[in-house]
Amino acid sequence: MSAIASEEATLVAVPRARRRLGAAGLRPYLYILPVVASLGFWIYWPLLRTFFLGFYTWNLLPTTPRVWVGLGNYARVVGLQEMGIALRNTLIYVVGMLPLSVALPLGIALLTQNLGARARGVYRALIFMPMLMAPVVVATIWDWMLDPTGGLVDSLLHAVFGLGPVYWLNSQTWAIWVITAIAGWKVVGFAVLIFAAALTGVSREYLEAAAVDGAAAWQRTWHIVVPLILPSILLVVMLTVLLSAQWTFPLINVMTQGGPVNATTNIYFELWQFGFQSYNVGWASAAAVLLFLGFGVIAWGFTALMNRVAYRDS
């Protein structure tokens, strides 16, 4: 069930007597003041400023004046070749991540469902561990494993198949897939947990009734289980679409710096480059605004879709 739907359910279920409008006077505002002030100052205010900075040329130095250029930055950013490459790579990351963040974890969640409670818990805890590791640590470990001279992967390739050395991260073909795989490695266990939580909500009775009717195991899974946990599947798809660029960013920053020849850059890395490598605040801000609007539309679309799906099965 989607979080938004459950949120509404909670709101409706709250007894009137307790939540009478205005009865508490100023008190609620005092209690929420720290959170609202902090989020306002560190999230919404800079969001507004980014909108404004998108209309200026500025190099981040307080002593340099900002120059108004209207929509000039937007026009330039949209036409930039780097932006095109970054967008295309972002799409590759998303598409490459989906099997690792949706299909594989769904399979694992289904397969581990019938294990004993203890074995299931241990197994899910083990495959969850990469999610806990800091992105920089993950990047360092994999850089070592993939090191062309003496790294584990290369030594194995050499010892077993007589292959190598393979310069994984210097290859314009391989590098982006290597980073996709590492980002996938990190989130598999997390996605398994989300699907597992959804599966515990699927009623045994439906499955038993279908089994009595002679439905095979895969039919029961495909026709009963999958539709019932569709909101969770959509949720993970949405997280993958929205967050793949976030998940891969630190790996790119540590392992490849976007290279070789822009082969691994993504949209956030490009923004980072505009802002803190080229000190081109105008471009960075204009690109940020476009990105924010784009991802906002995607999130809105998925939320609408999830609400519809959740409504249909209840």
Partner 1 sequence: MLAVLSAVCLFPILWMLLSSLKGDADISSLTLLPHVPTLANYAAVVTELPILAMIANTVVMAGAVTVLQLVTSVLAAYAFGRWRFRMDWLLYTLVIGTWLVPFQITMIPNYVVIAGLHWLNTLQALIVPQVASAFGVILLTQAVRSFPAALFDAASLDGAGSWTTLWRVVLPNLRATLAALAILQFISSWNEYFWPLLVTDKPTHTVLQVGLQMFFTDQGNQWGPLMAAASIASLPILAVFLVSQRQVMDAFVRSGLK
> Taking CB under 8 A as the criterion, which residues in 283-302 touch partner 1?
284-285, 288-289, 291-292, 295-296, 299
Question: Tokens in use for 211?
Answer: 């089994």
Element (H, E) at 87: helix 81-98
First to last CA, the chain: 10
Candidate segments 91-99, 162-170, 203-211, 281-289, binder of partner 1 by CB under 8 A = 281-289
Q: Which of 68, 52, 93 is nearest to 289 (CA)?
A: 52
Among 93, 142, 168, 302, binds partner 1 (CB under 8 A): 142
The only residue of 71, 78, 95, 137 in contact with partner 1, by rule CB under 8 A: 137
Rounded CA-CA distance 86/270 in Å is: 7
List the x/- string, 100-129, binding to partner 1 by CB under 8 A: ----x---x--xx--------x-xxxxxxx
Interface with partner 1 by CB under 8 A: which range of 70-78, 191-199, 221-229, 305-313? Answer: 191-199
Per CB under 8 A, does 94 bind partner 1? no
| Cα–Cα separations (whole angstroms), residue 16 to 61, 128, 273 | 54, 42, 52
> Hey, which residues between 221 and 280 contact partner 1 (CB under 8 A)?
235-236, 239, 246, 249-250, 253-254, 268, 271-272, 275-276
Residue 155 C-beta: closest distance to partner 1, Å: 5
* φ/ψ of residue 24, rounded to 5: -90, -5
Minimum gap (Å) between residue 46 Cβ and partner 1? 4
Q: Which residue of 89, 93, 135, 178 would you call a contact of partner 1, by CB under 8 A?
A: 135
Rounded to the nearest whole angstrom, what is the least distance from the CB of residue 237 to partner 1 in the complex?
12
Site for partner 1 in 20-39 (CB under 8 A): 20-24, 27-29, 31-32, 34-36, 38-39
Classify the phi-psi angles of 278: left when phi > 0, otherwise alpha if psi is within -120 to 50, otherwise beta. Answer: alpha
- Contact flag: residue 304 with partner 1 (CB under 8 A): no
Determine if 217 is a binding residue for partner 1 (CB under 8 A): no
- Residue given tokens 């490598």 in the structure block: 277
Interaction with partner 1 in 50-69: which residues (CB under 8 A)?
Answer: 50, 53, 60, 62
- DSSP-assigned letters across all residues of 235-246: HHHHHHHHHHHH
Q: Which residues contact 158 (CB under 8 A, 6 or more apart)?
A: 164, 165
Residue type, 85: I
Residues 151 and 169: their CA atoms lie apart, in Å, by 13
